[in-house]
Structure formats: structure tokens, C-alpha cells
Structure 1
Amino acid sequence: MASGGHRIVVLISGSGTNLQALIDAQGTPSLPNAKIVLVLSNRKAAYGLTRAQGADPPILTQVLALQPYLKANPGKTRDNYDHEVSKIVLAASPHLLVLAGWMHVFSDAFLREVEKENVPIINLHPALPGAFDGVNSIQRAFDAFGRGEIEHSGVMVHKVIREVDRGEPVLVRTVEIKKEDTLEDFEQRVHQTEWSVIVEGTKIVLESRSGNPTA
């Protein structure tokens, strides 16, 4: 292992509870020889930025929001935005890119730019593989349970491909839904599962990388 260990870039859009799990785990047996070198948000108000800035030591943060970018760059497109995000990510020389509540679907161009630099991309999704792809998956699973269509839901970390939430699973964990659950009860159980799964999934991918990372 070279000095500095594995370099991780995390992309967020919201409160950053899953980011916090990664921050707490870095450099511990749960995520050894790993360091978050950049947290990028597509929302200026994302509380995850505050979490990163308050870490010890503080983690570098950056914001690039789609609509302000398009407004400031007349004639530019969503693909141009994705290209700009890829430049920011790759400038941090990561060994892994983790999407932790990143609410923006990347284009093929972004995925190609990152993958040609041999940087794996993984995403945390609060559903089982092939079930409830996309947004509002917790609500949709809870409603499906209420209709008797499913017996449980789950959380997964998966590799990112063009098709939303359809990449190869890295780690999958079942989450129980109880008959007496409110939506809030179920949500909390999902989130608690997410906090462990995102750390474990990140560790699996880093350990699977061939060769030694460089700082």
C-alpha cells in the first residue's frame, strides 16, 4: 500500500447521513487505508457539505449545480455539465467514486470519462436488485407491502451503468417490513441498514481492485 492509501470521492445531494457513515469508517478496520479526498454536491444547501467540512481533518468540498451551471454558460447542455463533473472528480485522482444520495442521472459520456481512468463507480440504492428502481423507492416498497405484493425490501450497493439502478450488485441486504410499521419506522430501518451497507460495499470494491493504489 502506497502512502495515502485509497482515495475516495463521494457525490451527494442531501443531508449526507450515508456520507457520515463513510467519514466515520475511513481509516478504521471497517474501511482501512482509505481517505475521502473530495465531497461534491449538486445542491449548495446539502447538509452533507457541512458534515465534510466539520470532519477531522476537514474534507475538501465543491458544489456544481446543474441549473446555475446552465444559466451561467449559455449554450451549454446537460452533457456539458456531466463532463464538467467528470473533470472535477478525476482531478481528485480517486480510486473509487461513491454516489451516496446523488440525485442526478449521469450520461454515457460521464461514465466513459471516469471508467477509462479505471475508476469504479458505485451507488447506494434503498431497494433490492430489480425492484423499485429510481426515486421514492422506500415509499413504493412500503406501499407494495401494504398491498401484499412483497414480504420485505432491502438495500444494495451496485456498480453504476447507464440504466438507473440496474448495475451489478456489490452487496445486497434484506430489510424487514413489519405489519405494525409506519412509513417512518420502515424508513429508519432502511437508513440504518444503508449506513452499514455503504461502508461494507465500499470496502469490498476497494479490496477487489488489483494492484496497489497510489497517493
Structure 2
Amino acid sequence: IIENWEANDQPEHLRTLRERIIRNEQGSSRLLALYQQILQQGEIAADDSPEQIELRLSGLVVKQPGQENKTSPVLKVYNRIYQSIFNQDWVEQKLGNLRPYNQALNAWLASNREDNSRLLRGQALAEALNWKAGKRLSVVDDEFLAASQELSWIEQQRYLEAERAKEAEARLAEQKKSARRLKFLLMAVGTALMVSTGLGVTTYLGYRRSAISEINAFA
């Protein structure tokens, strides 16, 4: 049954369980992540959250009293057959089909991980990381998201360096402009002083000639 369960699933019991989990794309990732957590830990504390109730209604897990002096109830996989069929590999495969960046990932893999234009950036990267939170994905997913984060960091650093270079160029241009203004001002002041000095000398010489003329007239 376990090795070829889909062909031997008569009546359709196991397929019904599967469809209850994956029929709603928006909610499937949350249910799969919750079920994955139960697989990894063996059991989790039952809190009757909407996701836990929906997962219990699927029939895949069951709520049981806590054991070993535990007072709170727990959620566990219903039986070993379910656990063997709907195992970690199955969860990773279904999560992979639901990943919001599936097309970009496949294109990146097709380029032998060399086409960086396929990596995620900005809002797409933020949404992918938010979707990934709480899930155990495949190694390929981790590599793709890590490469996207690394490229995003590099591009951000390049942008910051370019902005700093622009600011430095702007400051240098302003300093040169201020230096030119100061040079023109000094030249204007120098010219004014020369003109003023020239006028003063001319006035003095005129006064001196006038004084000499008056002295000669009295003599």
C-alpha cells in the first residue's frame, strides 16, 4: 500500500486526505508548514488555532492527551501509514509546487545557477523570505534564496557607494564653485584697491601741483 498507494487507494481514502491539504493554494502552505513541524518534532502542543483545526479536520493528524506528565494535549500524525506516505519528502515537494518564485528558480537552475537576473530582489525577495519563514524547504530553495540575498546585499552596497561618490562629487563641485567665487571677489577687491590707489595718487599729485603753483605765485 505504501509503495504504490495511489494505485491501491480504493476507495479513495489517502487521495482524499491529500486533496484536503493541497486543494487551497493560499492555505496549503500554512497547513503543510504546520504538518512539517509535527513530522520533525513528533508532536506539537495543541492550541486549537484555525490552522490546527483545519489540519485535524483533514484526518491527517489527531489531537491526543499529553503524555509523560504533560497536561496540555498535543497534535500527532494519525498513524504510521500516513506518516510514511505523507513524509518529509512529500511535504517538500508540495511546498516546492506552491513556492511563489517557482518560475524564477527553475530558470536559474536551467542556467546552471549563472543567470543572476533570475535571482529575487526587492519586494519579490521580501515576499519569498516571508513565505519561507517556518518552513523546511529543499537545499535548492535555500541556495536560491541565499544567492538572492547575497546579490541583493552586493547591489545595495554598490548603490550606497555610488550615492556616496555622487555626494562627494557634488561637494567637490561646490567647493570649486566657492573657490572661483572667492577668486573673482579677490580680483574685484584688488582691482578696486588699485583704482582707489590710482585715484588717490592722482589727487595727491594734483594737490601738490596746485600747492606749488600757489607758492610760486606768492613768491
Query: Given the two structures, how large is their TM-score scaled by the length of structure 2?
Result: 0.24
- Determine which structure has greater relative contact order: mean sequence separation of CA pairs < 8 Å that are 6+ residues apart, divided by chain length: 1
Query: Given the two structures, how large is their TM-score scaled by the length of structure 1?
Result: 0.25
**Greater Rg by CA:** 2
Greater fraction of residues in helix: 2
